[in-house]
Structure 1
Amino acid sequence: MVRLVCVLMAALLAAPMASAAPGYPDRPVKIIVPFSPGSGGDTVARMVADELRKSLGGSFVVENRPGASGQIGTEAAAKSPADGYTLLQTSSAQNSAGPWLVKTLSYDPIKDFAHIARVITVPFLLVVPPELPVKTVQEFIDYARKNPGLAYGHGSATAQVASATFSTLAGLNTMNVPYKSQPPAVIDLMAGRIQFMMADLSVVGEQVKAGKLKALAITARNRSPGFPDVPTLAEQGMTGFDLEVWVGIGAPAGTPEAIVKLLSGEIMKMGQRDDVRQRFQAVGFDLAPNTVSDHAAFLREQLDSWGRRIKDAGIQPE
């Protein structure tokens, strides 16, 4: 009898896992992407939607709502019904750096969302024109100190903060050259009109492989499998760079916990599959899912880090 009770209790405890969100999804799930089609976040959201269709069935549809550096789509998601049928592509742009770069934000980057999981991290590459006479970070620092006023380009807020942070940590006198997007900055860098960039690996990876740009370092904790010869900043003595570009999946605050856990679990499973990892790596992304609790800690850590670096760089909110 005691054994039977134990078996029944074990079955009851296992049941919520098997039926955490029975019948979900029974209608289309919308994933709001607050940036344009073809952006990094859009690519990630579409790849996640594709995998969720395979694992959960049903329909997962990406809806682009770009504008105001991601604020328009993010605010729309925050105000959507918290029923599990509206999800949001979250990122360092909206949830880490953005809150420090605007004077009035229409949403709380932490409290207004049920943060489901981080999906990827995107390391920066420190890149220079091939003709610049440097091969390492220290050689570049020495060169920049002898030639004050070197210009860095950026086409995004995160790239601006990353370049400014590198300059601050290295004690360099550099000049900021803004662009409307990253590709024009890359073109000018290859032409030698600017001297360096901290650019997303997904943006400059192909140019590095083609020899059109020279990569001196990567900001990831470990070397990238796609660029094994590019050492990390930490390997070269710069240990204070603590910024990460990341993309995740969230939902409006109050979304049922069962659905949040279900989706988090499915994203974690993606990270365990070699075929999915290879798909992400092929477009320059490191698949790096985390649990709901770990993601909550990561969010607060990155919000603080980006805020501190933005203030240190003297970047004023607009």
Structure 2
Amino acid sequence: MLQPLVIGLGRSGAGLHLKALRELARSPGFRIGPVIGCDPYPDTARDLSGVTLTTSPAEALRALGDPASVVAHVCTPPQSRLPLLRELAGHGVRRMLVEKPLALSAAELDALRELRRHAGLRIAVVTHWLASELTARLTRLVTGRLYGPLLAITVEQHKPRFTKSLTTSAHHSALEVEIPHALALVVHLAGPARVLRAHCADLRVGRQRRPDLGGAELTLHHDNGVRTAIRSDLTAPVRRRSAVLEFRDAEVTAHFPVGEDDDHAQLVLPGGERQIFRDDAFLALFRTAYGPLTDGSPALDFTVAAEAARLLCEARAPGSTERVTA
């Protein structure tokens, strides 16, 4: 039986991860132990029922016992992630489900690769689009070449994010918010790439300003010639999470679920055919992460996760990102 350990009980940990764990526990074929939560200042406004609260990883692991049975959900801010992963590995934890972004610098990513290799870690990054049925259908279109070779991808990720950006410091750039999901998707579909252009805009509300948190744009060139544009507007009045795939002979549009209140995805094919289906990618990711160690799901492909993180680091590197302050 695997034992969940959720470290960081804010929006992601206490909201998304605990909710998915409760659903996973009700799923046929899954037996998971009681959840241990770790946070000195948990978000008590969220539902923490059934969770044993601890204040440090060492205390939590004493409560859990066998570290080999632990699945650590790392939901802390990215700035503190590498030391925490080292601490967990030092205690013998091998399964880790890590919130994005995986790393914030090339040096940190290199250190994480070495830690993973040396300690034999199984790391899944919470870029859950890779576990979605919509992504599986896109993958079949790309590999099957039904509409010819893939030429270009355009990803749009828009949502209003004023309150969180103005009141918390969890993220320092719009590149860290929605962009990691898109990077994982396009690397999975089109392979390795290089950053041609990175662009961030400030968030402004009245006299308040948050540098680089208004939105971000990335332009990529993949090694196989595919072109990618990723746009994320965090001041948008409406939510949108979509990807347009341009093939030689046709174009398809994928709409990912935009919030926790509805888990339906849509795929619009040539001729106007529209496929609508349930697609709870977050729960699908958890099923994969708690599945057999031999599971070859794209969601557990560390090569894709590391390449997406490398591109994010490249985009964030000093001198590579244009900044718009107007």
Return the TM-score normalized by structure 2.
0.39
Q: If you compute each CA radius of gyration, which structure gives the higher value, 1 or 2? A: 1
User: TM-score scaled to structure 1, two decimals?
Assistant: 0.40
Higher relative contact order (CA 8 A, sep 6+): 1
Higher strand share: 2
Higher helix share: 1
